[in-house]
Structure 1
Amino acid sequence: MQPKFENRPEKGHLLNISYLGEGLIKMNTIFKIGLILLLTTGLAKAQEPDTNTNDLTLLQLVQEAGFLAWPLAALSIAAVFLIIFYTLTVRKGAVVSGRFMRSADSLIRKQDYIGLLKICNRQDQCISRITAKTVEFATKNPLASFEEVREVTEAEGSRQASLLHQRIQYLADIGAIAPMVGLLGTVVGMIKAFREIAQHSFVGSKQTGLASGVSEALLTTAGGLCIGIPALIFYSLFRGKVQGLVAELEAASTHIMALLAAQYKRASISKARAGKQKSETSRPADIQGI
């Protein structure tokens, strides 16, 4: 006789059902806790004040920074103006141009120094000023040696290079002065804050005065740095550009002096030949026949 099996669930299957029920209960509990936390967080955020209404405009920040904010504002305007001005003026065309160099080369080879002076006076370039000073000295002092003419050229070239460097120095001065003004504002603000602390009564309006002093100190420091750092960055950029322009100016001046040196050498050779011919023609006839 075959054994009869009763229709009973297996033991492992019963365990799985019990575990599933416990998991559903735990998930329900976690969901309720999460919902409570979510509602609590939303309620807390709803009770927080709206900080966006306390945003300050630029004018209000300047007013809170105290009286030293106005010198900082003036320095910032001056820095922006100088950056724009240097961008437009510190360029190769204001120092040396290929058109002027070609004209000067042609006129020097033709020994047309009067025409060269006219072109130099019409041009507003560093190389034109150097050339004008050199040619003017050479024409007014025909007996001057080439070494003396070269000294005049070098002196004028050094002056023009110095003017280029001095022109951008104002931006470096602003970059150094602005943080110092901000530091002065920091000291003034901290003095105000400590004066409020010294009053001992540290409630109500006294707390507002302390916060105002600290705010003034921080705002002026930040303002000075925000002006000084960009000013020094642009000064560094313009300084590198000026150094490149000075190198171009030196090369152009060297080319002009080389052309003048060739003309001086040619003039000295012609003068020597003329003197030799004059000495030969001035000899007596009997000496010439020897």
Structure 2
Amino acid sequence: MKCRLLTIAGMLISALSVSAAPVATGAPQEKGLIELFASGGYTMYALLVISVILVLFILVFLATIRRNAVVSDKFMSAADAMIRRRDYLGLIAYCHRQNESIARVIQKSLEFLTKNPNAPFIEVRSLAEAEGSRQAGTLTSRITYLADIAAIAPMVGLLGTVLGMIKSFIHISGGAGQGVRQMELAGGVSEALIATASGLIIAIPALVFYSFFRGRVFRYVSELEAASAHLMAILNSQIERQPSGPSYATPAARGGRGDDFAMPTPAPLGAERPDLHGI
């Protein structure tokens, strides 16, 4: 029993002496974040800039790619009420004050309708669809920057890897001693691995947030299409129910209220719109 205790004690003492030996001999400690950054080579500065840009993009997209920035219930209620009152000019002014995608669609459609009162409604609908496609393309093109960062960051990290390996092989081929060459080889490999890891650390969150915002954009684009179709259908029904005669005339010529739809020219057209009855 005493022999076993002496053996275990001897093993513990030897283990403690081995673990304390590197400290006594001045073995290198774990590097901090700044030291790791400096060990990664010149490509780490490019990766730092890319990471800052990534954070800025994420913050901007979180603030701008929202439902209220595309289609809000408040705008839909106001636009529905104004279209039913045929207050088209008032709705155009209201759209100018809003920053929503649906506001741009309705604004372009009504501006075309007021400037071209005799145009068939199918042209108004086509213009609304074109503007809706443009707004959807704008939302989609924004988030592609995250995909670009996810593709560029690993490439920059790979460049750092190649430069680190080239540095290592240059020192290996030098005329220094064996120990010096091993130290230089370890430094070059360390630089290569740090650059590669940094590129992946940036690329992975970029891909995650790209997938997140892509799903959000697809959902909001679908809501934008549904909202545009809803308002266009109401607008078409209001135009078809207008009486024959001064359907696009001024309020004075129609005898209506001042907040009704009015053309910029004072003279009433007084022409029936047969091209709308078939829609």
- Measured against the shorter chain, the TM-score band is 0.7 to 0.9
What TM-score do the two structures reach when normalised by structure 1?
A: 0.80
- Distance, in Å, in 2 between the alignment partners of 1:202 and 1:156 is 71
SS in 2 for 1:251: helix
Aligned partner of 1:75 in structure 2 is: 50
1:1-290 alignment, distance < 5 Å? 27-49=1-23, 54-267=29-242, 270=244
Shift of 1:55: 2.4
Aligned partner of 1:10 in structure 2 is: none
Q: Judging by fraction of residues, say which structure has more helix.
A: 1
Q: Deviations over 1:9-28 (max 9, x none)?
A: xxxxxxxxxxxxxxxxxx22
SS in 2 for 1:54: coil
**Greater displacement, 30-39 / 117-126:** 30-39
SS in 2 for 1:48: helix
Shift of 1:159: 0.1
**Greater displacement, 174-183 / 55-64:** 55-64
Q: 1:55 to 1:37 in 2, by over 3 A?
A: closer
- Distance, in Å, in 2 between the alignment partners of 1:54 and 1:40 is 22
Q: Deviations over 1:14-71 (max 9, x none)?
A: xxxxxxxxxxxxx222222222222222222222337896222222222211111101
Structure 2 alignment gaps of length 5 or more: 247-269, 273-279
Shift of 1:190: 0.9
Aligned partner of 1:6 in structure 2 is: none
Q: 1:52 to 1:240 in 2, by over 3 A?
A: farther
Q: Deviations over 1:261-288 (max 9, x none)?
A: 1023223x6359x989xxxxxxxxxxxx
Letter in 1 for 2:156: V
- Distance, in Å, in 2 between the alignment partners of 1:152 and 1:52 is 73
- Distance, in Å, in 2 between the alignment partners of 1:215 and 1:40 is 31
RMSD value over aligned CA atoms? 2.2
**Greater displacement, 184-193 / 29-38:** 29-38
- Distance, in Å, in 2 between the alignment partners of 1:52 and 1:102 is 71
- Distance, in Å, in 2 between the alignment partners of 1:57 and 1:262 is 69
What TM-score do the two structures reach when normalised by structure 2?
A: 0.83
Shift of 1:248: 1.0
- Distance, in Å, in 1 between the alignment partners of 2:241 and 2:171 is 85
Structure 1 alignment gaps of length 5 or more: 1-26, 277-290
- Distance, in Å, in 2 between the alignment partners of 1:60 and 1:102 is 58
Q: Deviations over 1:76-121 (max 9, x none)?
A: 0111111111111110111111111111111111111110011000
SS in 2 for 1:230: helix
Shift of 1:136: 0.2
- Distance, in Å, in 2 between the alignment partners of 1:168 and 1:124 is 19
- Distance, in Å, in 1 between the alignment partners of 2:207 and 2:28 is 36
What percentage of aligned pairs have identical amino acids? Answer: 47
- Distance, in Å, in 2 between the alignment partners of 1:37 and 1:139 is 94
- Distance, in Å, in 2 between the alignment partners of 1:209 and 1:203 is 10
- Distance, in Å, in 2 between the alignment partners of 1:86 and 1:238 is 8
- Distance, in Å, in 2 between the alignment partners of 1:47 and 1:261 is 87
- Distance, in Å, in 1 between the alignment partners of 2:230 and 2:11 is 83
